[in-house]
Amino acid sequence: MNILNEIKQAYYKANIVEKIIYINVLMLLITNLFKGFIINWFGLPASFDEFITKPWTLITYGFLHLSIWHILSNLLVLYYLGNLFLNFHTKKQFLNFYFLGIIVGAIAFLLNYYITNKTGSPLIGASAAVSTIFIGIATKIPRYAIQLRFIGSVELWVLAVIWIGLSILQLANVENGGAIAHIAGAAFGFVYAKQLSAGNDIGKWFETIIDYFSNLFKPKKTSNLKTVYKSKRRTANDVSKTKQRKIDDILDKISKSGYNALTKEEKDYLFRAGKK
């Protein structure tokens, strides 16, 4: 019981990236315990006709793994790049990228088998979502350098090219639906990040849907505060805009010259902003 309580406490204290990882690990255990049932009912079928009878698989497939190596490769990348993603984007935007990446990957997978009229195994795994996050943050800060043991400093755009290249190589496989889903997720991450940089959040509609259903289960709060101090609200907004401008200036500097070009003060400021 103590172990369960510790796991619960760790989950509640975790950020959104870590919570997604916890859920995936839990589903790995459940999937391996009830393999046939879980894959049959929650994996994404290659047949469009079968999918129509199981529409929930459009999302549920993204939380299923059978192989420990499969989940490790996905979740290690998600942990490091997902937390980096949160330094530049909000928690809700992370969820938009992640879940829309799952959906876009599923649609590409289904279209592939529908158009080619081939048969294949159900799709499982978070690779499409992870690809969306990976390429999304690599598009945002391509010159950001990551230190890899035995290799040294490697910029994100290089790692992104390698990641996509591995999926392209997998297109030669007989069952290449998974590779198509990964590439579709990556392409969506690129487009979403570019649009977001241009001030257009193309995933806002999904965020609105999530907020709507979340609010249905939240108790309504009543407030006794009737007086609104507009001057204070304006001051808070001005401070927020000033902070955002400073963050944008730092991000522009990273895009042009790389992360290592930042001063210690700028790195510390960006780190503190990402934690809020």
Residue-wise pLDDT tens digits, 76-100? 999 999 999 999 999 999 999 999 9
The mean per-residue pLDDT over the stretch 132-140 comes to 97
What pLDDT shows up at residue 247? 81
What pLDDT shows up at residue 240? 66
Tell me the C-alpha distance between 89 and 195, whole Å.
13
Tell me the C-alpha distance between 181 and 167, whole Å.
9
The mean per-residue pLDDT over the stretch 120-146 comes to 96
What pLDDT shows up at residue 263? 83
The mean per-residue pLDDT over the stretch 38-65 comes to 96
Q: How many other β-carbons are positioned within 10 Å of the β-carbon of residue 41?
A: 14
Helix, strand, or coil (residue 226): coil
Tell me the C-alpha distance between 135 and 184, whole Å.
11
Task: Tell me the chain's radius of gyration from C-alpha atoms.
Answer: 21
What pLDDT shows up at residue 191? 97
pLDDT surpassing 70 at residue 1:
no
What are the residues whose beta carbons fall under 8 Å from the beta carbon of 203, sequence distance 6 or more? Answer: 93, 96, 97, 100, 192
DSSP 55-72: TTHHHHGGG----HHHHH
Per-residue pLDDT band for 257 (boundaries 50, 70, 90) equals confident
